[in-house]
Amino acid sequence: MSRNEMKDWIVMSLAFGTVVLLFVITLGDFYIAMQENREPSKDVINLLSMAITGIVGIIAGFISGKNAADQAKQAQQPPPST
């Protein structure tokens, strides 16, 4: 497995794991709120919105960094001779 593939897997597992964790936390809070006849906690909703913003930032940073690396690699290659 190359270094770039390893980076891809790390970012994908980080994002997927965080989404799964948020899903479990949200479902747990909603379940408890239903059992106790109360509203869902605003702290959990705030956590969810901040975490989604963070995940989007991580993925966007990864994609833009990957694009910049691809452009730098193409700039280092010599132009095709004719």
Say if 67 falls within a structural domain. yes
Q: Which domain holds residue 50?
A: 3-76
Report how far residue 25's alpha carbon sits from residue 9's, in angstroms, rounded to the nearest whole number. 24
How many structural domains is the chain composed of? 1
Say if 69 falls within a structural domain. yes
pLDDT digits (tens, 9 = 90+) for 9-18: 888 888 888 8
Confidence category of residue 82, pLDDT binned at 50, 70, 90: low
In the predicted model, is pLDDT for residue 35 greater than 90?
yes
In the predicted model, is pLDDT for residue 23 greater than 80?
yes
Express as a percent the part of the chain with pLDDT over 90: 24
Residue 5: burial class (beta carbons within 10 Å; 0-12, 13-18, 19+): exposed
Say if 45 falls within a structural domain. yes
Say if 82 falls within a structural domain. no
